[in-house]
């Protein structure tokens, strides 16, 4: 029984297609497992491939998953939705669209989509309606395969994905959902795990009628938006990008496991025995609190070997391998070693410059994906609103859409910012009014700003003349603020020195960049 006469595709082709894509889907599943800290099987397989059985049996007891560099890098480079996107629909907000954004928590979903896209190179988002509410399903490459468009292989004309009812890799309860479109319309068919058809939901003989998702021009569209990490050149899937990061993540887990094993073995001294051991009890407990039965007779000897590994060298080798990979992704090596250190906004900008460049490269793509998603939300909403059973308003076809991605802010130290702007003022780069406007953006008129700061300085001068102790009080307050508490002169001076040292360090980092 053909899926669609115009396709000329038999149902058996679905299973053959799934088997052909099996390696790609398994690779994607491994990446997701590693990202979600479910990597025990991956690490054990790598250990088994590298070590003989006796050593593997010892090492697998020390599996260490504490340094997940793949997760850290993916989370660091996924910056599109670090700040909430601002979506507009023309001059006036559309009430129905705003309602959809609010009830679906779209930004939360898109933040995860951004991470999965950077991890897997592709990710699909499917808007749908359940129980009268809009929601979005994330479909990752490990559970789906596509039929590519013959005219444009970077596009899909059919998508098939699985829904599992148990949360294990060896799952048995699986349904396959197939969506396909062509010039004659579309269809949605449900299959069991062996690709035997269970029912047609949308289509010529669909339980719920004809295919509902049509454009204004009545062309059938798939209810999916595909997010690509990079604009595809000649195929739908990108199976290669990010392989270095995955391999580095696995190697880091293996080396951390070896370090844990070395730490354990170096914590004890190896006992050696010379002599007749035939009468010694077997499987003796080798600890300091238990007696040890030793051989007797001429020439009998017992001693210990002090086996030590240079843990520092192992740690340095691991750090080198990690840094070599993370630098390729625009992440400074010290971001993996600095813990809880203070850093000015200027230093953060310098150290995250490469990340911001990655973000700027991806924003045009995500602007297009946001437009495609809005168009699809409108199609899905209008298919069910009104006469479709959903008692909601239609979203007008002529409604315009725009999205702005907010800039990521790096907070500046206010004292440092005053010093920098003061240098600009003294160098003639900015005016006195511009100096005031920098710290009070509500004042838009430069002449008004200059008058305000002049009046403030005049009043301050009069107060100092009237209250000679004012300078000392202000200095004490500033000293307390910079030192973190106490208000004493010594603490204030120490805080100032710390501030100057930190500023000098940031300046040096800026020069290196």
Average pLDDT over residues 94-99: 94
Which pLDDT band, with edges at 50, 70 and 90, does 346 fall under?
Answer: low
Instruction: State whether residue 422 is helix, strand or coil.
Output: helix
pLDDT at 13: 75
Q: What is the pLDDT of residue 387?
A: 62
Query: Mean pLDDT score of the chain, rounded to an integer?
Result: 82
Number of H helices and E strands in the chain, helices first, is: 16, 12
Of residues 499 and 243, more confidence is placed in: 243
| Candidate from 266-270, 337-341, 426-430 with smallest mean pLDDT | 337-341
| Spatial CA neighbour of 296 closest among 325, 319, 313, 273 | 273
**For residue 437, what are the CA distances in angstroms to 67, 431, 442, 452?**
46, 10, 8, 10
Q: What is the pTM of this model?
A: 0.74
Pick the range with the lowest mean pLDDT from 21-25, 218-222, 458-462, 463-467: 463-467
3-state SS of 320-379?
HHHHHHHHHHCCCHHHHCCCCCCCCHHHHHHHCHHHHHHHHHHHHHHHHHHHHHHHHHHH
CB 383 within 8 A of CB 216: no
Q: What pLDDT shows up at residue 489?
A: 43
Q: Report the pLDDT value the prediction gives residue 338, as an integer from 0 to 100.
A: 37
What is the structure's pLDDT at 490? 46
206 — phi, psi (to 5°)? -70, 145
Looking at the predicted structure, is the pLDDT value of residue 123 above 90? yes
pLDDT for 351: 65
The predicted structure's pLDDT at residue 500: 53
pLDDT bracket for residue 229 (50, 70, 90): very high
* Segment 8-25 mean pLDDT: 76
pLDDT band at 269 (very low <50, low <70, confident <90, very high): confident
Summarize the confidence of residues 45-53 as an average pLDDT.
92
Strand-pair category, 133-139 with 185-191? unpaired
Question: Tell me, what's the pLDDT at 10?
Answer: 57
- 318-329 pLDDT per residue, tens: 888 888 888 778
Q: What is the mean pLDDT of residues 253-280?
A: 78
pLDDT at 354: 74
Q: What is the pLDDT of residue 297?
A: 67
Would the pLDDT of 284 be above 80?
Answer: no
pLDDT of residue 125: 98
Q: Which tokens hold the place of 353?
A: 């410059």
In this prediction, what percent of the chain has a pLDDT beyond 70?
A: 79
Per-residue pLDDT for 499 more than 60?
no
DSSP secondary structure code for residue 281 in this structure: P
Tell me what pLDDT residue 322 has. 81
Strand partners, 242: none
385 vs 295 pLDDT, higher one: 385
What percent of the chain has a predicted confidence (pLDDT) above 90?
A: 40
Q: Is the pLDDT score of 177 beyond 50?
A: yes
**Helix or strand (DSSP H, E) at 187:** strand 185-191
| Higher local confidence (pLDDT), 488 or 160 | 160
Cα torsion for 382, 87, 361, 114, to the nearest 10°?
-70
Greater model confidence, 55 or 313? 55
Least confident of 79-93, 232-246, 254-268, 275-289: 275-289
The span from the CA of 186 to the CA of 98, in Å, is: 29
Q: Which pLDDT belongs to residue 11?
A: 67
Asked if the model's pLDDT at residue 448 lies above 70, the reply is yes
Q: What is the mean pLDDT of residues 3-23?
A: 67
Q: Domain residue spans in the chain?
A: 11-241+357-404, 415-512
pLDDT digits (tens, 9 = 90+) for 131-157: 889 999 999 999 999 999 988 999 999
Q: Mean pLDDT lowest for which of 166-170, 212-216, 217-221?
A: 166-170
Beta pairing partners, 128: 135
Q: What's residue 341's pLDDT?
A: 47
Q: Please list, in sequence order, all residues whose beta carbon lies within 8 angstroms of the beta carbon of residue 77, skipping any fewer than 6 positions away.
A: 118, 329, 330, 331, 355, 358
The average pLDDT across 287-294 equals 68
């Amino acid at each position: 029984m053909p899926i669609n006469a115009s396709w000329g595709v038999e149902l058996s082709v679905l299973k053959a297609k799934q088997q052909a894509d099996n390696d790609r889907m398994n690779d994607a599943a491994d990446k997701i497992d590693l990202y979600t800290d479910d990597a025990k099987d991956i690490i054990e397989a790598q250990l088994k491939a590298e070590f003989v059985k006796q050593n593997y049996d010892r090492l697998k007891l020390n599996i260490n998953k504490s340094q997940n560099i793949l997760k850290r890098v993916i989370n660091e480079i996924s910056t599109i939705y670090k700040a909430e996107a601002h979506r507009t629909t023309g001059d006036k907000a559309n009430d129905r669209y705003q309602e959809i954004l609010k009830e679906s928590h779209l930004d939360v979903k898109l933040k995860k989509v951004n991470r999965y896209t950077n991890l897997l190179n592709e990710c699909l988002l499917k808007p749908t309606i359940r129980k009268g509410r809009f929601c979005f399903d994330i479909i990752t490459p490990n559970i789906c395969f596509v039929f590519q468009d013959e005219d444009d292989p970077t596009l899909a004309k059919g998508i098939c994905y699985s829904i599992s009812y148990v949360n294990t890799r060896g799952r048995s309860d699986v349904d396959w959902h197939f969506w396909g479109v062509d010039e004659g319309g579309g269809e949605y068919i449900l299959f069991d795990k062996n690709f035997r058809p269970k029912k047609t939901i949308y289509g010529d003989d669909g339980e719920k009628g004809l295919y509902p998702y049509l454009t204004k021009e009545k062309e059938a569209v798939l209810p999916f938006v595909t997010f690509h990490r990079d604009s595809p050149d000649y195929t739908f899937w990108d199976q290669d990008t990010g392989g270095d990061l995955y391999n580095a993540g696995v190697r880091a887990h293996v080396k951390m496991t070896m370090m844990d094993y070395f730490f354990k073995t170096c914590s004890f001294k190896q006992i050696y025995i010379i002599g007749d051991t035939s009468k010694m009890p077997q499987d003796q407990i080798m600890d300091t609190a238990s007696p040890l039965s030793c051989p007797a007779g001429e020439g009998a000897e017992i001693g210990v070997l002090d086996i030590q590994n240079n843990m520092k060298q192992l740690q340095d080798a691991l750090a080198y391998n990690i840094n070599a990979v993370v630098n390729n992704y625009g992440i400074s090596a010290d971001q993996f070693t600095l813990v809880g250190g203070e850093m000015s906004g200027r230093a953060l900008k310098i150290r995250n410059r490469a990340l911001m460049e990655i973000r700027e490269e991806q924003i045009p793509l995500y602007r297009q994906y946001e437009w495609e998603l809005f168009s699809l939300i409108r199609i899905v909403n209008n298919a069910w609103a009104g006469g479709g059973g959903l008692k909601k308003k239609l979203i007008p076809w002529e409604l315009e859409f725009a999205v702005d991605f907010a800039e990521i802010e790096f907070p500046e130290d206010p004292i440092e910012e005053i010093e920098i702007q003061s240098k600009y003022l003294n160098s003639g780069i900015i005016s006195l009014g511009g100096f005031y406007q920098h710290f009070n953006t509500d004042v838009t008129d430069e002449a008004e700003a200059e008058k305000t700061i002049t009046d403030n300085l005049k009043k301050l001068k009069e107060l100092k003349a009237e209250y000679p102790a004012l300078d000392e009080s202000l200095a004490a307050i500033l000293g307390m603020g910079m030192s973190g508490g106490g208000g004493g002169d010594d603490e204030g001076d120490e805080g100032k020195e710390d501030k100057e040292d930190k500023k000098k360090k940031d300046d040096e980092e800026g020069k290196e960049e």
